[in-house]
């Protein structure tokens, strides 16, 4: 298939490398002034991967769109709306869009597929690609399982057939709401895990995982999704990669915040946490972990006080 990756960060570049590796015709697009794009364009590699000559690298968005059957978007979730404004100036009618990104629009609380739906017609198939794993592990040949979900069942089946390999096994998503909210919310739990690491309270991650999953399952249910999705690959299944891995930006952000260190990389969970707090109020769902993380980030409370109240001082029924 002719596939264009829109975005050349660590996920976008990995997906381009992966889909080329399994036999597709791949183009990767990036902004001409992006350091990541310049590195790939000049050296055909980054700090994880070396790109074969079969991958076309371009900063021409029109060309990147015109040659593609499938457009895979992998950019910052908060930049999606403005990017779609640029993307839809080109002819995307009949193409398929796959979002390989995890987040919730902070100003509206909308899921990312809801944002896309404002810009495209029903003829444009839209899917999400979520689940555990880091490009650093995949590039070393370490396999994992992921999920593809869409309201379009034919599109789901086609993507899973075309994208599956021994490196990534794809499961069929059955709950778009749950998979999008669960995938985004695991980043907030990842920030909380990093805070625990920074306070030398890593032993409390078990409590964080059990309570975090239950908390997010309540929100998914209130929003009309299947609460069991929180226990699947989109959320609980992604905890190892998000709450423990040294590659997790969100975990590292939480740890750096507690230690008073500067963190320069993108941590999607910061804006996602704000959006989750908004959704909790909108749907009248108690989200104590999300509230605590937001209060710590906003410096209304200290991490030590907030996490102690969550896991040590308060007396709660487990279920």
Point out the residues that are catalytic.
Answer: 186
Q: Are strands 25-29 and 96-99 parallel, antiparallel or unpaired?
A: unpaired
| 63, 161, 179, 211 from 298: Cα distances, Å | 42, 44, 27, 22
| 16, 200, 215 from 72: Cα distances, Å | 9, 39, 30
Q: Whose structure tokens read 């991490």?
A: 303
Nearest to 268 by CA among 99, 126, 101: 101
Backbone φ and ψ for 224, nearest 5 degrees, come out as 100, 5
């Amino acid at each position: 298939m002719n596939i264009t990756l829109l975005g050349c960060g660590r996920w976008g570049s990995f997906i381009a490398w992966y889909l080329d590796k399994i036999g597709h015709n791949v183009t990767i697009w990036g902004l001409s002034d992006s350091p990541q794009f310049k590195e790939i364009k000049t050296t055909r590699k980054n700090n994880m991967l070396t790109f074969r000559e079969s991958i076309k690298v371009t900063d021409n968005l029109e060309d990147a769109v015109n040659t593609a059957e499938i457009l895979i978007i992998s950019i910052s979730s908060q930049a999606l709306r403005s990017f779609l404004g640029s993307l839809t100036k080109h002819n995307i009618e009949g193409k398929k869009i796959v979002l390989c990104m995890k987040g919730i629009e902070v100003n509206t609380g909308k899921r990312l597929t809801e944002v896309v739906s404002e810009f495209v017609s029903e003829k444009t198939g839209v899917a999400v690609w979520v689940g555990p794993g880091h490009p650093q592990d995949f590039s070393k040949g370490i396999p994992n399982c992921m999920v593809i979900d869409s309201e379009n069942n034919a599109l789901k089946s086609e993507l899973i057939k075309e994208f599956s390999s021994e490196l990534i096994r794809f499961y069929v998503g059955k709950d778009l709401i749950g998979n999008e909210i669960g995938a985004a919310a695991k980043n907030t739990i990842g920030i909380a895990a990093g805070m625990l690491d920074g306070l030398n309270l890593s032993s409390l991650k078990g409590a964080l995982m059990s309570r975090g999953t239950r908390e997010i399952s309540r929100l998914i249910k209130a929003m009309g999704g299947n609460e069991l999705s929180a226990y699947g690959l989109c959320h609980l299944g992604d905890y190892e990669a998000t709450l423990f891995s040294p590659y997790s930006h969100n975990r590292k952000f939480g740890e750096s915040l507690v230690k008073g260190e500067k963190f320069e990389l993108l941590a999607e969970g910061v804006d996602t946490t704000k959006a989750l707090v908004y959704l909790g109020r909108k749907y009248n769902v108690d989200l104590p972990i999300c509230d605590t993380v937001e209060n710590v980030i906003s410096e209304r409370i200290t991490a030590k006080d907030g996490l102690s109240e969550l896991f040590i001082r308060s007396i709660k029924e487990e279920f």
